[in-house]
Amino acid sequence: MVVGLALTACAASDRDSGADAGDGATSGGRDTFIFAASSDPATLDPAFASDGETFRVARQIFEGLVGVEPGTADPAPLLAESWEVSDDGLEYTFALKEDVTFHDGTDFDADAVCFNFERWNNFTGVLQSESLSYYWQKVNGGFASSDVASLDGTGKYESCEAPDPATAVIRLRSPLPELVSALSLPSFSMQSPTALQEYDADGVTGDGQAPVLPAYSTAHPTGTGPFRFKSWSPGEEVVLSAYDGYWGEQGQVRRVVFPVISDATARRQALQAGDIDGYDLVGPADVVALEDAGYQIVNREPFNVLYLGMNQANPDLAELKVRQAIAHAINKEALVAQTLPEGTEVATNFVPPSVAGWNPDVVTYEYDPDKARALLAEVGRSDLTLDFNYPTNVSRPYMPTPEQVFTAIEADLEAVGITINPVPDPWNPEYLDKIQGGADHGLHLLGWTGDYNDTYNFIGVFFGGTSNEWGFDNPSLFSAINDARYVADVDDQTVAYEQANAAILEFLPGIPLAHPVPSLAFTAEVKGYPASPVQDEVFNVITLGD
């Protein structure tokens, strides 16, 4: 906390000093927006990123062919004004916005689009590690040639053609219905071919766990967005300034500062001290107090799921009736009311209701302690003892209060005769390594915030194949999910996903608990913050009062 409070002094200095002429900003401070980050970005090159803090910065600097409709997760035109998809789902023709330039003056055109697609597809060596090219792997499924044993080599992407400067044609080897939605991810932002080559963007050394980033990733990110990179002082702050050649509305904000304040209490104190304009991941306990003190609380629509995982590598949890008993033992309504933010919805599926494929008719396992006890007795597990893993010292949009959620579920389970052995671990890397990297865990709390509006981005991530987290092998379930991913007709695909969601809840590998509402806090002077369920929040639309 001491470190965090020290960094707020830097933020206050940023506010007071205004900006120099090189920022394209005026003095006085009210054209500077200061938003506290919980950590440094992992990189300034979004092609190598998969974390929220990196994406927050990237969305100010970069734009993709596709964006999202404001306030939703639905795809919308951005650098592509429109697109057409061939009947066989193999060819996407993008009509590009004209008179757009990158921050270095390079023209954005179809050749630039093809340069970016070819770059992603031709990553080699360390660039193919999942920690770097995570989203290209997950969406495309491979590279032009594979250096990774777990990849089958060629992915869905085949080629890109630029028949004229305003038209880019992407061809696939097989249908990928989620492509347009996936292109809204910052990882697929358009970047200047000139800057990528000049600053050796692909010259990453080391390995996937400890990569050494090149100059492009640390000091020269170059996109088409409303803000351009100014500076990055690791552990302290990232500073951006307005791009005067921006094709769209620039707005009032001419300078953006992201001070790094890792401690949640220190972020709240920085807001109360007037050192920052806003911050994310507001703890539920702070929401009412901040609102009562005159601060704004802005809620995102929930596009996430918090769940209780049940690792079937544990023989007790491999028994379906035990998993059903656990589901009937949990009072989800009370859990939401007592531990999660106001507005949180009880979950019945592993996808939120706004996603096509959500099924209102899945088995829901209503709260019924007597039925839970009867099921345990039926399989001779009335004296069951289970490890319950949960993370500490973390607040995630889908899991703002993990310790409180654990305590409530523990009480429900012990009320039906299940003895709980608590196993707390620090969030990163211990907790995630234990849950996702090995079989030594039992019940566990985890969740997911969707990247874009597609069912596979939820259930495919969880149940698309065998994994250490869940500890089961169910080929028919895996096939149902993966086959649905590639159904080209939207209506048919929705039906296939509804059937897959029903199958998941019958098999019951885990229990969807809730769709929590993530909250942000701002001073009263911040107007028009563009809250987005997928955090597609670009600061040029914000206005700042006196």
Quick: pLDDT tens for 496-540.
999 999 999 999 999 999 999 999 999 999 999 999 999 999 999
Q: Mean pLDDT lowest for which of 96-110, 145-159, 322-336, 481-495?
A: 145-159
Q: Please give the average per-residue pLDDT across 215-227, as a whole number.
A: 97
Q: Which of 504, 432, 429 is nearest to 468 (CA)?
A: 432
Whether pLDDT at 154 is above 90:
no
Could you give the percent of the chain with pLDDT greater than 90?
81
Q: What is the mean pLDDT of residues 281-306?
A: 93
**What is the rounded CA–CA span in Å between residue 535 and residue 299?**
11
DSSP 521: E
Which is nearest to 290 in space by CA: 267, 324, 317, 321?
267
Between 64 and 51, residue with greater pLDDT: 64
Q: How far apart are CA 415 and CA 417, in angstroms?
A: 6
What would the mean pLDDT of 216-241 be, rounded to a whole number? 97
Mean pLDDT of 210-223: 94
How many other C-beta atoms lie within 10 A of the C-beta of residue 126? 19
**Residues 65-94: tens digit of each pLDDT:** 999 999 999 999 999 999 999 999 999 999
CATH for 1-40+234-300+518-546, options being 3.60.21.70, 3.40.50.300, 3.20.20.140, 3.40.190.10? 3.40.190.10
Mean pLDDT of the region 237-243: 98
pLDDT of residue 14: 61
Q: Mean of the pLDDT values across residues 337-357?
A: 94
Class of the 61-212 domain?
A: alpha beta
Per-residue DSSP letters for 389-431? EEEES--BTTBS-HHHHHHHHHHHHHHTT-EEEEEEEEIIIII
Q: How many CB atoms lie within 10 A of CB 267?
A: 28
| Superfamily covering domain 304-515 | Dipeptide-binding Protein; Domain 3 (3.10.105.10)
Please compute the mean of the pLDDT values over residues 144-156 and round it to a whole number: 70
> Do the beta carbons of residue 271 and residue 524 sit within 8 Å?
no
CA distances from 28 to 18, 135, 254 (A): 6, 41, 11
Average pLDDT over residues 413-418: 98
- Return the amino acid letter for 107: D
The domain spans of the chain are: 1-40+234-300+518-546, 61-212, 304-515
Place of tokens 């539920």: 284
CB 287 within 8 A of CB 341: yes
Q: What per-residue confidence (pLDDT) applies to 21?
A: 37
Distance CA(470)–CA(481), nearest Å, equals 16
pLDDT at residue 12 greater than cutoff 90? no
